[in-house]
Amino acid sequence: MKKLDKTLIIGIGNNTRQDDGLGWCFLDNLEKEGFNSDNLLYKYQLMVEDAELIGDYNTVIFIDACKTDIEAGFKVEQLFPAEQVTFSTHAVPPNQILNLCETIYNKKPKAYVVKIQGFNWNIKIGLGEKATLNLNNSFAYFKNKFLIQHFK
Amino acid sequence: MNKKKIIIEPVTRVEGHGKVTIKMDENGKVEDAFLHIVEFRGFEKFIQGHPYWEAPVLVQRLCGICPVSHHLAAAKAIDQLVGVDPEKLTPTATKLRRLLHYGQVFQSHSLHFFYLASPDILFGINAPAEKRNIVTVASSNKELAKKGILMRKFGQEIIKALAGKKIHGILAVPGGVHKTFTKEEKEYFLDGKQIPNVDTMIAWSKEVIDFMKNYHTENAAWIDNFASYPSNHLGLVDKETGALELYDGRLRSVDFEGNELLNIEDIEYRYHFKEAVEPWSYLKFPYMTKYGREKGWNRVGPLARLNTCSHITTPFAEIERQIFKAYTQNKPNNMTMHTHWARLIEMLHCAELIKELLLDDDLMGTDLVSKGTPRNKGIGIIEAPRGTLIHEYHTDDKGLITKCNLIVSTTHNNEAMNRGVRAVANEVLSEKPEITEPMLNQVEIAIRAYDPCLSCATHALGQMPLIVQLEDHQGNLIDEKIR
Q: Which CATH number do you get for residue A128? A: 3.40.50.1450
Domain that includes residue A81, residue range: 7-151
Q: Are residues B428 and B391 in the same domain?
A: no
Pinpoint the alpha helices (H) of B112-235: 118-123, 134-140, 142-163, 183-190, 198-218, 220-225
Q: Are residues B344 and B389 in the same domain?
A: yes
Interface of B with A in 444-463 (CB under 8 A): 456-463
Contact A87 B116 (CB under 8 A): no
Q: How many cross-chain Cβ pairs, A to B, lie less than 8 Å apart? A: 118
Nearest to B135 among A44, A85, A121 (CB): A85
Q: Are residues B67 and B207 in the same domain?
A: yes
How far is B95 from chain A, CA to nearest CA, in Å? 27
Contact A91 B167 (CB under 8 A): no
Nearest to A96 among B114, B129, B135 (CB): B135
Q: Which CATH number do you get for residue B63? A: 1.10.645.10
Q: Are residues B288 and B156 in the same domain?
A: yes
Show which of B393, B412, B431 is a domain's final residue: B412
How far is B459 from chain A, CA to nearest CA, in Å? 6
Nearest Cα to B130, choosing from A89, A113, A98? A89
In a domain, A1, yes or no: no
Domain that includes residue B438, residue range: 4-40+415-482
Q: Are residues B24 and B61 in the same domain?
A: no
Cβ–Cβ contact B11 with A under 8 A: no
What is the total count of domains within chain B? 2
Kindly provide the ipTM of the predicted complex, given to two decimals.
0.72
Q: Are residues B284 and B263 in the same domain?
A: yes
What is the total count of domains within chain A? 1
All residues of chain B having their beta carbon less than 8 Å from the beta carbon of residue A51 are: 149
- Per-residue pLDDT of A23-40, as tens digits, reads 999 999 999 999 888 899
Nearest to A20 among B116, B460, B465 (CB): B460
Q: Which residues pair with B288 in a beta bridge?
A: B273
Residue B482 class from Cβ within 10 Å (0-12 exposed, 13-18 middle, 19+ buried)? Answer: exposed
Nearest to B12 among A12, A88, A121 (CB): A88
In a domain, A2, yes or no: no
Show which of B387, B412, B437 is a domain's final residue: B412
Nearest Cα to B386, choosing from B349, B412, B351? B412
- Across the range A110-132, mean pLDDT stands at 91
All residues of chain A having their beta carbon less than 8 Å from the beta carbon of residue B145 are: 100, 103-104
Does the pLDDT at position A87 exceed 50? no
pLDDT of residue B96: 98
Taking the C-alpha atoms of residue B255 and residue B276, their distance in angstroms, rounded to an integer, is 20
Taking the C-alpha atoms of residue B458 and residue A13, their distance in angstroms, rounded to an integer, is 7
How far is A53 from chain B, CA to nearest CA, in Å? 10
Per residue of chain B (483 residues), what is the pLDDT tens digit?
Answer: 456 665 555 444 444 556 777 777 777 777 777 776 655 556 777 788 999 988 888 877 666 667 899 999 999 999 999 999 999 999 999 999 999 999 999 999 998 888 778 888 878 777 777 777 777 888 888 888 889 889 999 999 999 999 987 667 789 999 999 999 999 999 999 999 999 999 999 999 999 999 999 999 998 988 898 888 999 999 999 999 999 999 999 999 999 999 999 999 998 999 999 999 887 777 789 999 999 999 999 999 999 999 999 999 999 999 999 999 999 999 999 999 999 999 999 999 999 999 999 999 999 999 999 999 999 999 999 999 999 999 999 999 999 999 998 888 888 998 998 888 888 888 877 776 666 777 777 877 888 888 776 654 344 454 433 444 455 556 555 555 444
Q: Are residues B113 and B227 in the same domain?
A: yes
Q: Are residues B453 and B368 in the same domain?
A: no
Show which of B364, B385, B412 is a domain's final residue: B412
Q: Which residues pair with B388 in a beta bridge?
A: B383
In a domain, A26, yes or no: yes
Beta-carbon contacts of residue B307 (< 8 Å; ≥ 6 apart):
B233, B235, B254, B258, B332, B333
